[in-house]
A and B are shown apart, each in its own frame.
Chain A
Amino acid sequence: MRDVIVIGAGGGGPVVAKELAARGLDVLLLEAGPRHANPRREWTHYENDANNPLTGFFRFGPADRTKPAWFRETNQNSFLWQLSGVGGTTQHYYGNYPRAYPGVFQGYAGADRGAYDTEHVFPFTYKEMVPYFEWVEHTAPVQTAAMGTKEEIYFRGCETLGIPVQTTKDAKGFAYRPQENAILQPGGNAGRTSDRELLVYPKATGCTFCGFCFQGCMQPVNAPRNQFAKRSTDNSYVPMALTAEVWAKAGRPITLITDAFVNQVHYEEKHGTPTATGVTWRDTNTGELHREDATVVVMSAGCTENPRLWLNSELPNPNDWVGRGYTDHFFDWVLGTFDEYTGNSKGVGSSARCDFPGHGGLENVGLPPALEAFTLALSDSGVRGAYANGRGKTGNWDGPTGRPLGKELLDIMSHGIDRLLNVLVITDDDVEAQNRVVRSALPADRNGPVAKVEFHGRQRSARTLANREFMARKAAELLKGAGAKKIYRIDWAPLILHVQSSMRMGTSENNSVLDANGEARWVKRLFIADNSALSNGLGGPNPTLSNQALSTRTAEKIFRLYFGGDPWVGKEAPVVSTDHRISVRLGQLGL
């Protein structure tokens, strides 16, 4: 009998595990995918080796890469980019940690309050969230990003938009700024050389500008795991959870089991209320089933897998909102070609952004060649110059939207990967019940029916559609201001990452799964802590910080409700995840 079982070691689960381990609870953290305990041995910087969704070491599948990935059904032109393994999708994220916009919280009284998804706000105030933002920002730690060439050019474009520079963490209006990133700033030789001998820790510390955020961070060479530059949870929260006894007064290290696919959450009626009691998981190597009970169960398996697990476990779903309201920031992609070096493939993946509260945001994204080509080839507008799928939108970019293929793809790529600048459009999209996860009718795998993700890309709310067009035009304006020679807008088909709110916390029991504590409305002792618990798309900002802040808050609620403890955020000082004691202990453990 454990105190707490956490399902999933991605962006949210390790936060709950670490916080409760620091309080001395007995925590079991289960992860369906591999551990990746030794990146230098397991990883490379090669794009196919790393990122191929079918065969790469970052895929949604078992540790054994000779076996197929795990199938999920998507019945539309879209791409579902899931990851298994310790760290989950933070293994390939870019470390962006902007705060959510205040307008998506209850009680917001700004002049633009009508500009947000007011039907799906967080059930508490922004003011209440801020201490949790601060706690996570200190823990990660989050820092103001350094610039590379692509950021200098991006800012040159921003300076032509007629908006100010933001110099606070809170977004207060249209503005541009360096990212607040969970990436350690470059120290020593880092960012100043490509000579491997000079980039060995501690001669180099923090980010070396290698350009491989998407391939998983293992920089600098020979750094302790908790000193790797990018603060994905495999480098930050998981090492902390595994060493809780050395940095927390009452700390107790967690038990981490990987290659453990949870396929059942157990519950029973207690005092007339369904109450979670434990889980069953399958060892993905041996196929053996294991069962373990706990006082509290926390689902942190992500926006697609939480609904699947819930539905397969036959947990109550009286309002049919499990899996619904799946938001994806309705991304789009605008890029420009330049006659100068842009450093597109080098440096931090994304270190500059614009915020347009009420509409969304823009950020620069650097890419190596294969991901650039993939990005250019994902569109809902068909093939440029050939067919448009009823779209082919025109605007302040060159020609219609759509995939440049054949000669045009070669024209762009052969212009030079380091003479491109990409702008990602991150739309403030409404929570929409029609975008959702259901159980697929296709044959089940050995863990039961798989998830089917339904996205109705063209049928979104008028506000969402208008926001995307507004943002795409801003992106083209930025690129023009920066000096782009030719500007392409792709009209991306849904690229399903950045996903949020499929098990949302809400103000109304009619359209939410979780109450304001993060506990399931209809199952006691069952909590959800990851992007799926977020109430909405945050207004556009990247979800990791908000997920981790909310997960920290949820950990406090668990501790107070079921273990008789007191909250700690705002009362205690957080420990930074790069703390030397953690490095030493990891060394002793061979981690």
Chain B
Amino acid sequence: MTTHRQQLSRRAFLARAGVLGAAVAAGAIVPTVTGLPFAAGQTKAGLDPVIALLRPALQELARDTINGLTTFVVPGSDPYSQAQGVSTNGPGAIHARTPDFLMSALDNFVPLPNEYVRPVAAALATAVADDKIPLPGDLTRLLPLHLNTVDEALKKLLSTDETVPLSLVIAMTLNLVATQVNPASLHGVFVSPFARLSWAEKAQAMRMVEQTDADLVEALDVNLPQPLHQSLSGVLKFVGGALIEFSAYGSFTEYAVFDKQTKSLTAKPVGWTISRYDGIAEGWDEFKGYYQGRTKVEG
């Protein structure tokens, strides 16, 4: 039997992870309306339409969060950079398609075993948060049945046989941290709380990820089976660093304009423009001779 307090905590968790906001934005649930598409305790088949709405909403949540992350590393003239208060007049990570680069890598190529990702996702699917952080009005107006509907849909989505998208797991984690840094990030433009942070607040969030803030790890750790929970804080430390490194790396590669078939570029990469790079060649006129004319030394 779920208590009212647990329900509030669960609501807070789902809101802070960005899930409730994404679900509302996608129309999977609608606050304040009296009629619900589905009642609590519905059949599994009955959840499918909600899942059908929730799945793309969560993908959008992941993308929005990653957008906010990559512009923290390489800002440009895009709305995410402008919203964080650090932007430029030129192209940045968004123009370099770094979010695509990062999401593709996370979801398809990071070889974290699914047997590991799934328990982490399960922990996210069942974790609760403290409810001290006030929720914005539209999220508090969700009835318990609304909450149950989206909650059941999320749990089902994360426990199906499909591979759990790592980008979503990471996005939910970043959003949890974001709402800890600034509770007001629960509301505003964009879908993701992390993307709503200022540049300085994003830095604060990444500090907490790198240092694996105890409360956060505890919240995620509680449902992880042995031996995985011993690994979670370490993996978070690694992921915290890797997200930043790969945002920087991806932004300055040819990723966005590389034609795999012809192994050639379709346009000049954004990172080459920013760094005034001369590009590739079979060689350069760079030979300057030998230091002090010495071409050989002996033992």
Binding site for B on A (CB under 8 A): 44-49, 52, 54-55, 61, 68-71, 73-79, 130, 134, 143-144, 146-149, 151-152, 155, 165-170, 177-178, 180, 185-186, 189-194, 196, 199, 204, 208-212, 219-221, 343, 345-347, 352, 368-374, 376-378, 382-383, 386-387, 389, 403, 405-407, 409-410, 413-414, 416-418, 441-443, 445, 493
Contact = CB atoms under 8 A, between A and B. Distances in A.
Contacts of A374: 245-246, 248-249
Given A75-B237, A194-B283, A386-B204, A147 B253 contact: no
Contact of A70 (B111, B206, B299): B111
B249 A370 contact: yes
Contacts of B74: 373, 406, 409-410
A344 B142 CA distance: 57
Given A147-B288, A152-B288, A165-B292, A204 B277 contact: no
B108 A147 contact: no
A189 B287 CA distance: 10
Contacts of B249: 47-48, 52, 370-371, 373-374, 377
A407 B72 CA distance: 9
Nearest to B115: A443
Interface residues of B, number: 77
B258 A386 contact: no
B291 A79 contact: no
Given A70-B111, A185-B295, A211-B284, A403 B210 contact: no
A46 B283 contact: no
Given A414-B275, A443-B115, A406 B86 contact: yes
Given A76-B237, A169-B299, A442 B284 contact: no
Nearest to B245: A377
A76 B234 contact: yes
B274 interface: yes
Contacts of B145: none
Contacts of B35: none
Contacts of A167: 294, 297
B230 A441 contact: yes
A44 B282 CA distance: 11
Contacts of A48: 101, 249-250, 253-255, 258
B116 A442 contact: yes
A414 B287 contact: no
Interface in B83-102: 86, 88, 92, 101
Interface string B258-299: 100001010000011011111011111111111110111111
Contacts of B227: 441
Task: Name the residue in B86, B252, B287 with the highest tally of chain A Cβ atoms < 10 Å from its Cβ.
Answer: B287
Contact of A417 (B116, B253, B277, B286): B277
A168 B250 contact: no
A209 B282 CA distance: 8
Contact of A75 (B108, B231, B246, B248): B231
A441 B282 contact: no
B137 interface: no
Contacts of B280: 44-46, 210, 212
Given A76-B237, A445-B113, 4 more contacts: A151-B291, A210-B280, A369-B272, A387-B203
B207 A219 contact: no
Contact of A441 (B231, B237, B274, B298): B231
A443 B113 contact: yes
23 contacts: A44-B263, A49-B258, A52-B249, A71-B111, A74-B238, A79-B241, A190-B287, A210-B280, A219-B283, A346-B284, A369-B252, A370-B249, A370-B251, A370-B253, A372-B275, A377-B73, A405-B203, A410-B88, A414-B274, A417-B276, A441-B231, A442-B116, A445-B113
Interface string B64-80: 00000000111100000
Contacts of B292: 165
Contact of A78 (B238, B250, B291): B238
B296 A143 contact: yes
A378 B247 CA distance: 11
B25 to A, nearest CB: 27
Nearest to B101: A48
A191 B241 contact: no
Nearest to A169: B299
Contacts of A190: 283, 287
A151 B246 CA distance: 29
A148 B248 contact: no
Nearest to A165: B292
A347 B286 contact: yes
B286 A373 contact: no
Q: Which 7 A-B pairs have the closest CB atoms?
A: A75-B234, A191-B287, A208-B283, A386-B203, A48-B253, A71-B111, A377-B248
Nearest to B232: A75
A405 B203 CA distance: 10
B53 interface: no
Given A47-B254, A442-B228, A376 B248 contact: yes
